[in-house]
A and B are shown apart, each in its own frame.
Chain A
C-alpha cells in the first residue's frame, strides 16, 4: 500500500504539494488528474524516490521510499520525457535495466517486443515520439514492478497502442497485483481504465475515491418551477454551480442521486431531472469551484 502522510513538497517559493494525505491500495489502477502544474508529476517523483519530501512522509508498505533501494526496486517510473542513455538502442537499454532490476523478466520483455512492433537494434534517439514512448513502456513493464508510475502514459500513442497498453496494465493488475498510477490530463482515457481517481489542484487533493463512487457523488440537476422558490430552499443541497433561465434552474450538486431527488421533490417542481456527469465534466466542475476555469482565467 502507498501512503502519503502530510506530504509536502516545495520548489523555491512555490508549494507543489501541500500536506497531502492519501492511501493507494495494492493492485489497482489509479488515475491522477489535475491541471497544469498541479503537482501530479511531483507526486509520482516522490513515490518513485526521485524526490525527497520536504515534510511528511511517503511510505510504501510502511517504509519510506527515498534512498531505500528495497522499495525503489519495486517501483518503475516512466516520466513525461523518457530518458535513454546516449546512443542506446532498446537492446542496450534492456541490458541496463536487466543489470539494475533483478525483477526484469526476459519473457515479458520478449512478449512486449512482439506486441509493440519495434526494432530492438534501432537507435532510440532516431525513433518517433510515439515509438520512443513504446520503447519506454516496454522497458518499464519488463522490470515487472509492483508499482508502475506513468506520467502522461498515452501521450504520443495511437488509438490501437493505447488500447494495447490498457490491456497490458489490466493484465498486470490481474496477474500480479501490480498497482499502476497514471498521471494524465486526458481524463477520457482514464475514465474507462482506472478504478480509482484523484483530482489534484494547487498541490491539494480535491477528491480521491473509486471511479464508481465518484461518479455517484456529483450530479447535474435540471429543475423547473411554476414559481421559483427562494435560494434558501436549496441550502440543504451542496450546490457547486447554478444557472437560472426563466423558471428553469440548472445546478451541479455534490451528493447522491436519491438524496438530491428527494429534496427536489419536496419543493414541488414542474419537472426535475438528475444526470450523472462524465469524469471530464466532474473535473471541470471541481476546478471551477477552485477558481480554475476558462472563463475566469480569460477575464
Chain B
C-alpha cells in the first residue's frame, strides 16, 4: 500500500461536481416529471385547440411566454431544493466533518456542490423548451427559434443567478430552517420595506408619484433575475443579452462573496441559527420592521394612535418570537427586545421623516436649464409633450405654492376648495433622469389657473402641432345635441378635416375662457383622434351654451352635413316642443 499525494485538487472538485450531479439527478427527474404534468403537459392539452381551430398561421409567442415563465419558476424552485439538500452538510456536524475533511479548498468544495445543483435544476426548463422547439417546427405555428433560444439563455442565467445568490445565505446561516426563512425574508422583506415607504409617501407627500416599479425590480437579485420574463418579447436583442450578461456577472459576484464568506465560516457553527451574528440581527430587523407595520395596519389603517400602539407591541413580540425560534429559548430575549424597539423606532422615524418632508420633496422643481422636455397632462386631456417647458414649469410652480397644507392654514372663507383639478407633469432632464409629479385636489384658484392655461397660446400651439403630425386615422370632435327641455341630449362624433379643425379652434379660442364648471349648462367639447397605428388622444374644451355660441353653431352645421336624418329628427322634436 503506497500513499499517493493528490496534486491537483481541481480534478477532485470536478469529480465531486460529477458525483453531486449524479446524486441530484434522481430528485431532479422526479420534480421534472411532476412539473411536466402541469407544464408542458396540461398547458399543451388546453392550448392545442386554438391551433387547430385557426385556419391561418397561429402566433404562439404569447403562449410560449407562459410556458417559459413557468419553466423558469420550476427550475428556480428545484435549484433551491437541491442547494438545500447539497449544502445541508454545513448544518450538520458529522456531515460537515466528512465534507470539510475532503482534500479540497473550501472555495472549490462550494463551487463543485453549486455546479452539481445547477445543471440538474435546469431539467424542467429543458423539457419545456424541447416541447417548444418541436412546436416551432410546425409550419402553422409562429414561434421564432431565436425567441426560444434567447428565452433559454435567460432561463439558464436566471437559475444561475438565483442559485448563486442563495449560496450566500447558505453560508451565512447555520440551519436549513434559518436559511429558508432568511432567504424568504430578504427577498420579500426588502420589497415590502420599499412598499411601506412608498405607501407612506403616497399618503403624506403632496404631488408624490410612485415610480418605484424599476426600484422593486432591482431591489434583490432574485427579483432582478426574474422580472425580465415579463417583458421578454418586447425586449430588444441587445437589451436582453445585456441583461443576461449582468445576470452572469451577478452570479460570479455572488459566488465570489460566498467563497470569501465560506473561507471565514467556522465549521463548528453547524446547528447554530446563524454562522455570522450580524446577519441574524439584519434578518430579524427586516422581519420586525415589516411585521410591525402589518400588525399596526391590521388594527388601524388610518395611522392613528392605535396603529402606533399595536405596531410597537407587534415589533417587540416579533423580535421576541424570532429570537426564541432561532435560539430554541429565551436566552437572548433582552437583545431581541432591543432590536424590536429599534425597528419600531425606525418605522416611526420613517413616518416622521416622510410626513414632515425632511428632504423637501414637495417643493422640488427642476431648474429650467436642466429640463430637456416636459410631458403635461391635466383634467382637460391626454398627455402632451412641450418642447418649451417654461410655461409648464411656471404652472407647476404655481401649484407647488398652493400646497394644500398651506391652504389649511389660510382663511376658510376664501372658498377655494370647490374646484376639482388634476395635473401630472413629467420632466425629462438633460442628464437622462426624469422627475414626475401628480396633483389632484379641490382648489378653485389652481383650477382657474389651469383653465387659463388651456386658453394660452402655448397650449393651442401644442394641440396644433399634434394635429399636424397625425397620420391616417380619425380626427373628430364630440357634439352634444341638447334636448328641447334643456337636459343633456345625445352625443355625436363629428369627423374633422384639418381645415375644419382650424376653424373650430379659432372660434372656440375667440370666445374666451370664461367657464363656470358649476353652471347648469356646462359641458365639454371633446377633440379626439385615433389612428390606424393604435395612437389616440383626446382633449376637452370646457363650454356652456352661453359662452360657446359661435362654436356650437359651427359644430351644428357640421352635424347637419354629416347626420342629415338625425338633424331632421332633432328639428321635428324642437318643433313639437
Which one of B9, B93, B97 has the greatest number of beta carbons of chain A within 10 Å?
Answer: B97
Q: Compute how far the CA of A99 lies from the CA of B16 in the bound complex, rounded to whole angstroms.
A: 7
B106 touches A67 (CB 8 A): yes
Q: Compute how far the CA of A174 lies from the CA of B293 in the bound complex, rounded to whole angstroms.
A: 71
Stretch at the interface among B183-191, B260-268, B332-340: B260-268
Q: Which B residues are in CB contact (< 8 Å) with A146? A: 3
Q: Compute how far the CA of A145 lies from the CA of B16 in the bound complex, rounded to whole angstroms.
A: 19
A102 touches B6 (CB 8 A): yes
Q: Compute how far the CA of A83 lies from the CA of B2 in the bound complex, rounded to whole angstroms.
A: 26
Q: Which B residues are in CB contact (< 8 Å) with A154? A: none
Q: Which B residues are in CB contact (< 8 Å) with A72? A: 101-104
A105 within 8 A of B: yes
A294 within 8 A of B: no
A100 touches B16 (CB 8 A): yes
Q: Compute how far the CA of A144 lies from the CA of B4 in the bound complex, rounded to whole angstroms.
A: 8
Known A-B contacts A51-B268, A52-B266, A67-B105; the reply to A99 vs B1 at CB < 8 A is no
Min CB distance A105 to B, Å, is: 6
Min CB distance B444 to A, Å, is: 70
Known A-B contacts A73-B5, A74-B5; the reply to A100 vs B102 at CB < 8 A is yes
A75 touches B3 (CB 8 A): no
Q: Compute how far the CA of A144 lies from the CA of B1 in the bound complex, rounded to whole angstroms.
A: 7
A73 touches B101 (CB 8 A): no
Which one of B23, B89, B98, B105 has the greatest number of beta carbons of chain A within 10 Å?
Answer: B98
Min CB distance B19 to A, Å, is: 5
Q: Which B residues are in CB contact (< 8 Å) with A101? A: 6, 103
Q: Which B residues are in CB contact (< 8 Å) with A76? A: 101
Min CB distance B27 to A, Å, is: 10
Q: Compute how far the CA of A76 lies from the CA of B98 in the bound complex, rounded to whole angstroms.
A: 9
A70 touches B96 (CB 8 A): no
Q: Mark A57-99, 1 if CB is under 8 A from B, else 0.
A: 0000000000111101111110101110100000000011001
Q: Compute how far the CA of A79 lies from the CA of B98 in the bound complex, rounded to whole angstroms.
A: 8
Query: For chain B residues 1-36, which have a beta carbon within 8 Å of chain A?
Result: 1-7, 9, 12, 15-16, 18-19, 23
B97 touches A145 (CB 8 A): no
Q: Mark A96-126, 1 if CB is under 8 A from B, else 0.
A: 1001111101011000000000000000000
Checking B9, B92, B266 against A69 with a beta-carbon cut-off of 8 angstroms, the contacting residue is: B9
| Contact residues on A (Cβ < 8 Å of other chain), bracket | 35 or more
B553 within 8 A of A: no
Which one of A79, A95, A102 has the greatest number of beta carbons of chain B within 10 Å?
Answer: A102
Min CB distance B231 to A, Å, is: 41
A11 touches B268 (CB 8 A): yes
Stretch at the interface among A28-36, A42-50, A204-212: A42-50
Checking A48, A108, A176 against B101 with a beta-carbon cut-off of 8 angstroms, the contacting residue is: A48
Which one of A69, A76, A81 has the greatest number of beta carbons of chain B within 10 Å?
Answer: A69
A176 touches B1 (CB 8 A): yes
Known A-B contacts A69-B6, A70-B5, A99-B16; the reply to A51 vs B266 at CB < 8 A is yes
Q: Compute how far the CA of A94 lies from the CA of B453 in the bound complex, rounded to whole angstroms.
A: 85
Checking A11, A96, A100 against B103 with a beta-carbon cut-off of 8 angstroms, the contacting residue is: A100
Known A-B contacts A144-B1, A175-B1, A176-B1; the reply to A99 vs B263 at CB < 8 A is no
Q: Compute how far the CA of A244 lies from the CA of B102 in the bound complex, rounded to whole angstroms.
A: 56
Q: Compute how far the CA of A176 lies from the CA of B94 in the bound complex, rounded to whole angstroms.
A: 28
A100 touches B97 (CB 8 A): no
Q: Which A residues are in CB contact (< 8 Å) with B101? A: 48-50, 72, 75-77
- The chain B residue with its CB closest to the CB of A48 is B101
Min CB distance A61 to B, Å, is: 11
Checking A50, A67, A70, A107 against B6 with a beta-carbon cut-off of 8 angstroms, the contacting residue is: A70
Q: Mark B88-124, 1 if CB is under 8 A from A, else 0.
A: 0100111111101111111010000000000000000
Query: For chain A residues 131-156, which have a beta carbon within 8 Å of chain B?
Result: 144-146
Query: For chain A residues 180-218, which have a beta carbon within 8 Å of chain B?
Result: none
Query: For chain B residues 323-345, which have a beta carbon within 8 Å of chain A?
Result: none
Q: Which B residues are in CB contact (< 8 Å) with A99? A: 12, 15-16, 18-19
Min CB distance B259 to A, Å, is: 11
Q: Which B residues are in CB contact (< 8 Å) with A73? A: 5-6, 103
Count, chain B residues at interface, CB 8 A: 34
Checking B2, B4, B96 against A50 with a beta-carbon cut-off of 8 angstroms, the contacting residue is: B96
Q: Compute how far the CA of A296 lies from the CA of B236 in the bound complex, rounded to whole angstroms.
A: 80
Min CB distance A72 to B, Å, is: 4
Known A-B contacts A50-B267, A175-B1; the reply to A85 vs B15 at CB < 8 A is no
Q: Which B residues are in CB contact (< 8 Å) with A45? A: 97, 267
Q: Compute how far the CA of A103 lies from the CA of B7 in the bound complex, rounded to whole angstroms.
A: 11
B1 touches A77 (CB 8 A): no
- The chain A residue with its CB closest to the CB of B272 is A12
Q: Compute how far the CA of A51 lies from the CA of B98 in the bound complex, rounded to whole angstroms.
A: 12
Checking A11, A49, A102, A108 against B4 with a beta-carbon cut-off of 8 angstroms, the contacting residue is: A102
Q: Compute how far the CA of A100 lies from the CA of B106 in the bound complex, rounded to whole angstroms.
A: 14
Min CB distance A26 to B, Å, is: 11
- The chain A residue with its CB closest to the CB of B263 is A67
Checking B3, B97, B102 against A103 with a beta-carbon cut-off of 8 angstroms, the contacting residue is: B3
Q: Compute how far the CA of A112 lies from the CA of B231 in the bound complex, rounded to whole angstroms.
A: 61
Q: Which B residues are in CB contact (< 8 Å) with A68? A: 105
Q: Compute how far the CA of A45 lies from the CA of B266 in the bound complex, rounded to whole angstroms.
A: 12
A176 touches B6 (CB 8 A): no
Known A-B contacts A50-B267, A146-B3; the reply to A69 vs B12 at CB < 8 A is yes
Q: Which B residues are in CB contact (< 8 Å) with A70? A: 5-7, 9, 103
Checking A67, A82, A172, A175 against B94 with a beta-carbon cut-off of 8 angstroms, the contacting residue is: A82
B267 touches A96 (CB 8 A): no
Q: Which A residues are in CB contact (< 8 Å) with B16? A: 99-100
B6 touches A83 (CB 8 A): no
Q: Compute how far the CA of A105 lies from the CA of B1 in the bound complex, rounded to whole angstroms.
A: 7
Q: Compute how far the CA of A100 lies from the CA of B263 in the bound complex, rounded to whole angstroms.
A: 20
- The chain B residue with its CB closest to the CB of A176 is B1
Q: Which A residues are in CB contact (< 8 Å) with B19? A: 95-96, 99
Q: Which B residues are in CB contact (< 8 Å) with A75? A: 101
- The chain A residue with its CB closest to the CB of B23 is A85
Min CB distance B275 to A, Å, is: 13
- The chain B residue with its CB closest to the CB of A9 is B268
* Interface pairs A-B: 10 shortest CB-CB: A73-B103, A73-B6, A69-B9, A83-B94, A99-B15, A103-B4, A69-B103, A50-B100, A72-B103, A81-B94
- 14 more contacts with CB within 8 A, not counting A67-B263, A73-B5, A75-B101, are A49-B100, A51-B267, A51-B268, A52-B267, A69-B9, A69-B105, A70-B5, A74-B5, A76-B101, A79-B94, A95-B19, A107-B1, A144-B1, A176-B2
Chain A positions within 8 Å of B, measured between CB atoms, are 11, 45, 48-52, 67-70, 72-77, 79, 81-83, 85, 95-96, 99-103, 105, 107-108, 144-146, 172, 175-176
A–B pairs, 26, beta carbons within 8 Å = A45-B267, A48-B97, A49-B100, A49-B101, A50-B267, A51-B267, A52-B267, A67-B106, A69-B6, A69-B103, A69-B104, A70-B7, A72-B102, A72-B104, A83-B89, A83-B95, A95-B19, A99-B15, A99-B18, A100-B103, A102-B4, A102-B6, A103-B4, A103-B5, A105-B1, A108-B1
